[in-house]
Structure 1
Amino acid sequence: MKNANSKWLYLIILALIWGSSFILIKKSLLGLTPYQLGALRTVITGVFLFAVGFKSIKSIKKQEWKWVALTGFVGSFIPAFLFAIAETEIDSAVTSILNSLVPLNTVLLGFAIFKITSTKRQILGVIIGFIGTSILILKGAELNPNQNYLFAGYIIIATCMYALNVNIIKKHLQYVKPLSIATGNYVAIIIPAIVILCFTDFFNERTFSHPDFKMSVIYIVILSLFGTALAKVLFNKLVQMSTPVFASSVTYLMPLVALVWGLLDGESFSAVQGFGSCIILVGVYLSHNRQK
């Protein structure tokens, strides 16, 4: 019973943290490029995790390192850039709703790659979810003609990577400590992030002199420490104490938090988009609830 209550607490905390991440990404892009944002976010998170959890990586077995490295790239490194690129064209609230495809993709990839069987109810949920996604994207393109909704593809790719990440953790890293996984992830990806950062002109005087540079860095630090480092440890723990689909269903609640932030920041959101969002969440709900 205690474990059941704990997993819901973890879920709510993660929803609040990750639901606020989208507006932080948007604000960070005011003074930085998407590649600077993705690389700097990875470096800052890595430094923080090394400071608090470097000793914990000793518990990772040699045969587990390939899975730790893989989850680092598909669960953190690549999505950090994909979300930043997408938000150069798409509102943060819409991005968060598209992120709700994670549980649906968890079901699809769980069946396709990890041979985790799916019920008819879950398959129906996947179909409904894609219908809602189509409505959200098409109506968004109509409502915001100045935005390129083809960039929604970056979010869809990222959700597939998150789904792959959660299935790998559950199947291959079930008994590795959450802090060990998170720290090990950044052992694998921090060097590539530093290399990318060096090639983005981040250390150029022109970048430092941008009027929004200081605030952008502050937003990234908040995003890195809470939205990435802390949240990653909490999420790994949630996966281990529950199921991949339950853990990924944090995306039920994230859009509500992100939508509030988006509206406060002046983003437009139509009733039809709200309808499409509800359809997505219905699809996620169906995919989450297994038939007995």
Structure 2
Amino acid sequence: MSSESAARLHPKVVLALVCLIAALIGLNFTVIKFALERTTPLLLAGMRTVAGGTALLTFALARGQRLPTKLGDYGRIFVVSFSITTVSSALLVLGIERVPAGVASLVSSTMPLFTALLSFALLGARVNRLGAVGLIVGFAGTAVLASPSLSGDAAATGIGMLVLSAVAWAFGTVFMRWKDFGGISPIMIVGVQLYMSAAILIPLALVTEGTADTTWSWKLLLPVLYAGIPANAVTFALMAFVTQRASPTQAAASAYLIPVFGVVFAWLIRDEVLGLTEFVGGLLVIAGVYVVVTANTRRHA
């Protein structure tokens, strides 16, 4: 169903859904922190792809959707899978292991900034003056977050991993706009790509990390299920629903709400408090993402 033919949602419903999406993803940074107390990063990344992929494929098949039949489709899905749910997902978990959950959510929220840059480089998409200002502000915030005040090699490495995770996610997003996916439903695409990622991440984790540092219990199972289903499968399905039935500006609002919820949940659950540097850097990142996203969506509204 196209966005033109789908029934528009009431603005209050859109706001509620966008806030729900942002809250589910924002909470995920804190949940992953708890999971990492009981397992290793790559194994966690692999397990969450299995959980999310199973949920999405089950949902898609139950709705009568079919798996792709063309080899070329699987090749294009693999590129997206490798960039977003393999490389980006692995770097995300590795980064979260090294920095506070709230800071991780702020750095990860730079993805729309890299999407704008890659859209310009690969698709020739124009960046208007307002968008350019947003990019400058957002990357200035990233520089502040990555400044030495975070202290420690582990934190610096974590910030670097989270930035690279955002770049990889942005590339996969731009690639999906760049290439033709032959009318395959977004939910089916993500379900297949998650299983492709699991086929890489889990064997890699078993070889490089093993399972000696993993404690198998419900305290690990619950975070894995949350990271894979509510924070991944459910939010993706909700975003697809909102995108079809709301304006681009409304649908994109979650991009700058996610780090807000990420910081709030990290404070409420793990007593994490942002320092002045993180606070200033985070505000700049959110402001930059807001300007870039709204400048872009106005152009396509």
2:268 matched to 1:285?
Answer: no
Structure 1 counterpart of 2:286, one-letter code: L
**What residue in structure 2 maps to residue 26 of structure 1?**
33
**What residue in structure 1 maps to residue 197 of structure 2?**
189
Rounded to whole Å, the distance in 1 between the matches of 2:118 and 2:254 is 18
**What residue in structure 1 maps to residue 185 of structure 2?**
177
Structure 1 counterpart of 2:131, one-letter code: Q
- CA offset digits 1:245-292 (Å, max 9, x no partner): 876652300111111111121223123321221111221122123376
Could you tell me how far 1:20 is from its partner in structure 2? 0.8
Structure 1 residue corresponding to 2:57, chosen from 47, 50, 53? 50
Structure 2 counterpart of 1:53, one-letter code: A
Secondary structure class of the residue paired with 1:87: helix
Structure 1 consecutive aligned stretches of length 4 or more whose deviation exceeds 4 Å: 3-10, 59-62, 143-147, 236-249
Aligned pair count reads: 286
2:138 matched to 1:132?
Answer: no
Rounded to whole Å, the distance in 2 between the matches of 1:214 and 1:230 is 21
Gaps of 5+ in 1: none
Rounded to whole Å, the distance in 2 between the matches of 1:269 and 1:155 is 17
Structure 2 counterparts to residues 82-231 of structure 1, below 5 A? 82-138=91-147, 141-142=148-149, 144-145=151-152, 147-171=154-178, 172-173=180-181, 175-200=183-208, 202=210, 204=211, 206-207=212-213, 210=215, 213-231=217-235
Could you tell me how far 1:146 is from its partner in structure 2? 7.6
Moved more, 232-241 or 212-221: 232-241
Rounded to whole Å, the distance in 2 between the matches of 1:272 and 1:175 is 45
- Seen in structure 2, the aligned counterparts of structure 1 residues 108 and 4 have a Cα distance that, compared at 3 Å, is farther
2:259 matched to 1:255?
Answer: yes
Counting aligned pairs with the same residue, the percent is 20
Could you tell me how far 1:116 is from its partner in structure 2? 1.3
Could you tell me how far 1:9 is from its partner in structure 2? 5.0
Rounded to whole Å, the distance in 2 between the matches of 1:160 and 1:246 is 24
- Seen in structure 2, the aligned counterparts of structure 1 residues 42 and 282 have a Cα distance that, compared at 3 Å, is same
- 8 Å CA contact retained: 1:125, 1:282: yes
2:44 matched to 1:37?
Answer: yes
- Seen in structure 2, the aligned counterparts of structure 1 residues 245 and 85 have a Cα distance that, compared at 3 Å, is farther
- 8 Å CA contact retained: 1:14, 1:235: yes
Could you tell me how far 1:70 is from its partner in structure 2? 1.7
Structure 2 counterparts to residues 59-98 of structure 1, below 5 A? 62-98=71-107
Rounded to whole Å, the distance in 2 between the matches of 1:189 and 1:287 is 30
Structure 2 counterpart of 1:275, one-letter code: V
Rounded to whole Å, the distance in 2 between the matches of 1:146 and 1:62 is 44
Structure 2 counterpart of 1:56, one-letter code: Q
